[in-house]
């Protein structure tokens, strides 16, 4: 919360912002992630990492910082959507900075995404022809 020796954000406010509040789940390293106040906390080694990403139609960003190492990482791209490049680059930089063994985070992210993708239902082997439209017309209700 300080810049150039000047307190910008109080220690109490920083503590509130960075204290894990909600368990999110595991990560690719077998660690855990928690939601803080706008930040994700990841208990990675050798230092915990705080990060937040964001996306608009044409941009995707990743901002991360490692308080224990006085390190910040910001990746900006001009490609939104399902672009995971900023997260992969930030993770790769973190690993390289701390001398960790190389991991192909791109392949790991793809494999994790492939596992999470629902498989489309199988088409019936011998489908019948569609019914006439009046067979589908009617009043339908669903409590959900």
Summarize pLDDT for 81-129 with one digit per residue, the tens: 777 889 899 999 999 999 999 989 888 888 877 777 777 788 889 988 9
Cα(108)–Cα(126) distance, rounded to whole angstroms?
A: 38
Q: Which two tokens stand for residue 46?
A: 């050798």
- 39's CB contacts (< 8 A; 6+ apart) are 17, 18, 50, 51, 52
Average pLDDT of the chain, as a whole number: 88
Task: Work out whether strand 49-55 and strand 71-77 pair parallel, antiparallel, or are unpaired.
Answer: unpaired
Tell me the C-alpha to C-alpha distance, in Å, between residue 59 and each of 72, 81, 84, 91, 127.
20, 8, 11, 19, 43
DSSP state string for the chain? -EETTEE-S-HHHHHHHHS--EEEEE-TTS-EEEE-SS-EEE--SSS-EEEEEEE-SS-EEEEEEEGGGTEEEEEEES--SS--HHHHHHHHHHHHHTTPPP--HHHHHHHHHHHHSPPPPPPPSSPPPPPPGGGT-S------
Question: Residue 29: which pLDDT band, with cuts at 50, 70 and 90?
Answer: low
Question: Residue 2: which pLDDT band, with cuts at 50, 70 and 90?
Answer: confident
Of the chain, the end-to-end C-alpha distance in Å amounts to 46
* pTM of this structure: 0.69
Question: Which residue has better confidence, 32 or 27?
Answer: 32
Q: What is the mean pLDDT of residues 33-37?
A: 91
């Amino acid at each position: 919360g300080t810049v150039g020796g000047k307190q910008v954000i109080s220690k109490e406010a920083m503590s509130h912002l960075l204290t894990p509040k909600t368990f999110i789940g595991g990560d690719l390293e077998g660690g855990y992630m928690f939601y803080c106040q706008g930040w994700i906390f990841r208990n990675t080694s050798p230092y915990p990492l705080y990060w937040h990403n964001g996306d608009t139609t044409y941009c995707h960003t990743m901002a991360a910082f490692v308080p224990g190492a006085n390190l910040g990482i910001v990746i900006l791209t001009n490609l939104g959507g399902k672009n995971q490049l900023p997260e992969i680059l930030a993770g790769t930089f973190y690993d390289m900075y701390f001398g960790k063994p190389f991991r192909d985070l791109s392949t790991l992210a793809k494999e994790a995404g492939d596992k999470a993708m629902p498989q489309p239902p199988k088409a019936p082997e011998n489908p019948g022809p569609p019914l006439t439209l009046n067979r589908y017309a009617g009043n339908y209700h669903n409590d959900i």
